[in-house]
Amino acid sequence: MSPLFLALLVAFTAAAGALDGGARGHGQRVKSQTFLSPPIFLRPGSVSNKWYMDADFPRGHVALKSFNGELVDARGAPVPLHETYLHHWLVGPYYPAARGGAGFRMVTNSGVCGATLGQYFGVGAETRRTATWVPDPYGVEAGAGPPPEGYGEERWALNVHAIDTRGAADRAGCTECRCDLYNVTVDEEGYAGGTLCCSDQARCRVEEGFVDGEPRVLFLRYTVMWVDWSDAAVVPVRIYILDVADDALLQGKSKPDCKVEYMVEECSSESRARNECVDVKVATEVMPRGGDVVYAVGHQHAGGIGTSLHGQDGRLLCWSTPTYGTGHEAGNEAGYVVGMSACYPEPGAVRVRDGEALTMVSNYTGERRRTGVMGHFYLLVADEREEPPRRQRQQPAPATKQQWRPSLCFSFPVPWCVPGWLSIGPPAMEDDDA
């Protein structure tokens, strides 16, 4: 039995174990179905970044409980990231125009980036080892109610962005979408890499001999788990995706400006000497509506060393760290982020207020320059429930410091502060280390 299969089996058993606790208690039967995306054709170095409309998806009024995906080949064998890098996949509902009319209306999540990060589910390379299970009694509602006037029944759109790095001249550079490797120039100051340079049909530089390499066909194989909707048994959650590349508040703008990607510069020799070769990126965004955080997970690319999310008073809401592979096989590829740890706070233990300014921190090593990196936080938030939380259990505190000493605060356009370690003065960490 392959280690990956074993890992999947373990993951599945873990999920099934979770069901026993809650959903079954409510008499809800968890259903699961596995689908394949349309075929994705890739040659060495080539990129596919397509949207697939009307993707296979469970129909009816349901509470979605998990969504897991991975790239597989024509025989159904998992494809490792060093052969095909899964930049991301995204999925979300939409309404097609009624009676054969053109156009559609995408349904986006609850915020904060609007359509820019409007998906319901979506991750990247870390997909195989990132928990997506929505804890009981919560669920992501889908298929509710009739479509808006002039539109047909709800459908689902799937986007897969994959980069074939077989024979790549610079594998890491191709996955980081470095423009020079794709022979693309972008008319934007300082733009050295990112999704603009690895768009659909783009081609990354490959070694001699791979230029006309074998094309192959891949699929995103995805498994959706759900329960039939029940007002009595399921509590709906709202989806929020935060972006550390949103600098709108810093610029004094109230409307978010989610740039989705950013660049990490190589650290200076001084910081290297001090052993502080870390790129710390911080952003604050405002939650339109608060509630109980029941699930949270970060998203980072290779080079990422951790991401955290804090409330307005600095309290830790979630700390999510990447897992790196150590081998060669799918799900354990050395040098790649193969998983992100997720937070499952006890209901009621992690609460955010309506309009609260949340601050996100995303750290990368500054060992070398990296383009197109990301720092996102995906949150599931439920309306506060009447009953008090069963137990106040915070996130297990990581060994590192999470002390918050706001030293630089603003009142415009909303009240918010930057963490102490970013401003002048001794870093907040010093005494913690003692």
Ligand X SMILES: *[C@@H]1O[C@H](CO)[C@@H](O)[C@H](O)[C@H]1NC(C)=O
- Determine, following the binding rule CB under 6 A, whether residue 401 of this chain makes contact with ligand X: yes
Cβ count within 10 A of residue 100: 7
On the CB side of 15, how many CA atoms lie within 13 Å of its CA?
23
* DSSP-assigned states of every residue in 22-73: TGGGGTPPPEEEEEEPSPEEE-TTBEEEEEETT-----SSEEEEEEEEEEEE
Residue 41, class by beta-carbon neighbours within 10 Å (0-12 exposed, 13-18 middle, 19+ buried)?
exposed
Binding mask 131-170 for ligand X (x = CB under 6 A): ----------------------------------------
- 128: which 2 tokens? 């195989």
Q: In the complex, what is the shortest distance from the CB of residue 278 to ligand X, in angstroms, rounded to a whole number?
A: 5
With a CB cutoff of 8 Å and minimum separation 6, the contacts of 20 are: none
Q: Which is nearer to ligand X, 3 or 398 (CB)?
A: 398
Q: Which is nearer to ligand X, 23 or 358 (CB)?
A: 358
Closest CA to 19 of 223, 331, 233: 233
The single residue among 44, 80, 92, 306 that binds ligand X, judged by CB under 6 A, is: 306
Q: In the complex, what is the shortest distance from the CB of residue 429 to ligand X, in angstroms, rounded to a whole number?
A: 5
The single residue among 32, 365, 400, 423 that binds ligand X, judged by CB under 6 A, is: 400
Q: Which of residues 174-193 bind ligand X (CB under 6 A)?
A: 183
Q: Which is nearer to ligand X, 119 or 359 (CB)?
A: 359
Q: Which of residues 410-429 bind ligand X (CB under 6 A)?
A: 421, 429
| Residue carrying structure tokens 């982020």 | 337
Q: In the complex, what is the shortest distance from the CB of residue 163 to ligand X, in angstroms, rounded to a whole number?
A: 13
- Determine, following the binding rule CB under 6 A, whether residue 84 of this chain makes contact with ligand X: no
Determine the size of the site formed for ligand X (CB under 6 A).
16
With a CB cutoff of 8 Å and minimum separation 6, the contacts of 431 are: none
The single residue among 119, 363, 371, 395 that binds ligand X, judged by CB under 6 A, is: 363
Q: Which is nearer to ligand X, 143 or 167 (CB)?
A: 167
From 10-18, 112-120, 191-199, 306-314, give the range in contact with ligand X by CB under 6 A. 306-314
Closest CA to 333 of 211, 175, 181: 175
Q: In the complex, what is the shortest distance from the CB of residue 420 to ligand X, in angstroms, rounded to a whole number?
A: 9
- 286: which 2 tokens? 């405002």
The single residue among 128, 203, 299, 301 that binds ligand X, judged by CB under 6 A, is: 203
From 136-144, 282-290, 302-310, 345-353, give the range in contact with ligand X by CB under 6 A. 302-310
Q: Which residue is nearest to ligand X (CB)?
A: 306
Q: In the complex, what is the shortest distance from the CB of residue 58 to ligand X, in angstroms, rounded to a whole number?
A: 35
3 state DSSP class of 305:
strand
- Determine, following the binding rule CB under 6 A, whether residue 361 of this chain makes contact with ligand X: yes
Q: Which is nearer to ligand X, 85 or 219 (CB)?
A: 85
* DSSP-assigned states of every residue in 345-357: PPTTTSEE-TT-E
Q: In the complex, what is the shortest distance from the CB of residue 423 to ligand X, in angstroms, rounded to a whole number?
A: 12
Cβ count within 10 A of residue 107: 17
Please check whether residue 225 is in contact with residue 238, taking contact to mean a CB–CB distance below 8 angstroms.
no
Query: How far is CA 420 from each of CA 154, 166, 361, 364, rounded to the nearest angstrom?
Result: 46, 44, 12, 18
What does DSSP say about strands 111-112 and 235-243: parallel, antiparallel, or unpaired? parallel
Residues lying near ligand X in the complex (CB under 6 A) are found at 183, 203, 205, 278, 280, 305-308, 319, 361, 363, 400-401, 421, 429
